[in-house]
A and B are shown apart, each in its own frame.
Chain A
Amino acid sequence: MEEAALSVQNLRAYYVTGHFGMQREVRAVDDVSLSVRKNEIYGIAGESSCGKSTFIKTVAAAIRPPLRVLGGSIKYSFLDRDLYDLDERKLADIRWNHLSFIPQGSMNVLNPVRRIRESFQDFAFPHMGLGRSEFFDVVNRHLERLQLSPSILSAFPHELSGGMRQRVAIALATVCRPEFIIADEPTTALDVVVQKDVLALILETQREIGSSMIFVTHDLTVHANISNRLGIMYAGRLIEEGPTREIFHDPLHPYSRHLVASLPRIGDLTPKIALTGAPPNLAQPPSGCRFHPRCPLATDLCRQASPELTTLSSGRRVACYAVASAPATRPMTNDRMTNDKFKSF
């Protein structure tokens, strides 16, 4: 197997807060292990407060109290050590240059009172080791590749539309040709028409510069269109992982199955069934499997013990006793909801 671009082992990141002596611990990321291959877009899906944002904050080394990393390791291929063994100066060196970030709101990286040119200068210039005119040559060529006119460099962020700003944020994140890009819901705030173009741009840029990427969004249809592999998180845990296509055709975990089955699409009027209950409070997660209170397949075992993320013979990974116990006998079917037990959803 080739070397992974990012390998995360048993990562645990909790929010530990104290208000006037009341201690609270929110287990936002609890024992997550995954690896991102080179040149791959690894998608992370999940609903709000499933831990996906915390996860990427952690792998981007952007943690601040009350968030704390309590254990685990994060290794990038371009680093000889664990991410958390680096000091602040070394971290600043790798940011943008090796590891860059596309945020949900482009305003998070673009300073509203500075022209786009200055933002490029602030972020990318120190990393490129080029003279000023050479640097702007590179920037101009990069912008052209992304079909952005170099004239936007003299604009202020507020003069651009939302979609345009997001393209600038992408240009900014990729101008140093980083090995690794972390994208946090980069298209969520955009309108559908713009969203499609921005996704195409991300895909194209990623292929062109050959970086690896973690792409986080709650929107499964976006994942279907961009991620090579998909990890689904629920209540701070990674519960299923596999090639995106396979997850859409044959989701294994009951939760993923529900997510895929409940997606409305044009041309499909079959009744969509809703899941009962709600995601747990991560300050007091349920015992055993965190999905068991909502799961139609839950057994006593699920209530007591937490299933490990196990690798199946197909190479996919899933954290569910019901699936892992009978991997060979489970009928492989393309039809998404034929399993009798799921009629009860």
Chain B
Amino acid sequence: MLKVLRDLFRHNREFAAGSILVLIVLGIVVASFFSPYPPLDSYVVPPDIPPSWDHLLGTNSRGQDVFWQVAVAMRNSLLFGISVALISRVIALVIGLVSGYVGGMVDRVLMSINDTFVVIPLFPILTLFYFMMHDHMSWVVLAVAMASLGWPYDARLIRSIALSLRNREFTTQSIFSGMSTRQILMEEHLPYVLPIVFSTTLNNINWSIGLEVTLSVIGLTNIETPTIGTMIYWANQHTAMVAGIWWWVLAPVATVIMMFIGLFLLSVSMNEFIDPRTRLARMGA
């Protein structure tokens, strides 16, 4: 695996650029653990100071240091994105693989559920969800809600691969070797879909962070938790742009864009590596 990463870094410009961007963001995230100020406290520093040596990205109108706020917010947003992506990937994998392999009635039922989820309009549902949950809204609840809406496209994709794998001779070979359905799915078919899933996971992280930002900016999440979205929300509440506190908005936006571009480049550069032919060629086939 390390060798793969090294080769990718050397020979693939998108991968190199993408990983540098992601590493910068990760650096900021790690730094958040060493924050000199408790992230939820306000008025710990003088408000509205422009970027300077003392406060790299300035301070905001609530008396918080913008750099350390961004660090914590990015950490939460990223954690949120990863959780959504992982949960929805598990759902997509289970549904896609089972549907494709078992086929028949199971497939038809699972796919009609799948298609129902595809056509559900996300934004109104999540808005409704917020009004239902209201005070109980935490990022964990939101993550689960978004994960259960974010899997269907991937499940379709995985199913189509599983469908073709089912008719391959090696699947019959596995059946006649006495392997159980679980074994065939986990050990024979999963390796074929994992690389693709890996690439869509990166995109899904982007998607969920983006959606979280959208919801937060209009205040439809728990605004107490600092995330990139809630940071922009608070900046808007204090009319930061009108007041000329541009760094309060620019810092989170720039960071999250860096993250977006980084993850996107990584997922693009993965494509070449994902191709099973490339993998086999590397194995020396």
Contacts and interface: CB of A to CB of B under 8 A. Distances in A.
Interface in B110-160: none
Contacts of A19: 278, 281-282
B10 interface: yes
A193 B62 CA distance: 87
Contacts of A17: 281
Interface residues of B, number: 9
Interface string B1-42: 000100110111000000000000000000000000000000
Nearest to A18: B11
Interface in A1-50: 17, 19-22, 24
B281 A21 contact: no
Interface of A: 17, 19-22, 24
7 contacts: A19-B278, A19-B281, A19-B282, A20-B8, A20-B12, A21-B10, A24-B281
A41 B278 CA distance: 39
B282 A22 contact: yes
Nearest to A20: B7
A253 to B, nearest CB: 29
B155 to A, nearest CB: 31
A24 B285 CA distance: 11
B271 to A, nearest CB: 13
A231 B69 CA distance: 76
B153 to A, nearest CB: 29
A24 B282 CA distance: 10
A90 to B, nearest CB: 34
Nearest to B9: A20
The 9 nearest A-B residue pairs measured at CB: A20-B7, A20-B11, A19-B281, A21-B11, A19-B282, A21-B7, A19-B278, A21-B10, A20-B8
Contacts of B4: 20
A22 B280 CA distance: 13
A22 B8 CA distance: 12
A14 B7 CA distance: 24
Interface string B178-196: 0000000000000000000
Given A17-B281, A19-B282, 15 more contacts: A19-B278, A19-B281, A20-B4, A20-B7, A20-B8, A20-B10, A20-B11, A20-B12, A20-B282, A21-B7, A21-B10, A21-B11, A22-B7, A22-B282, A24-B281
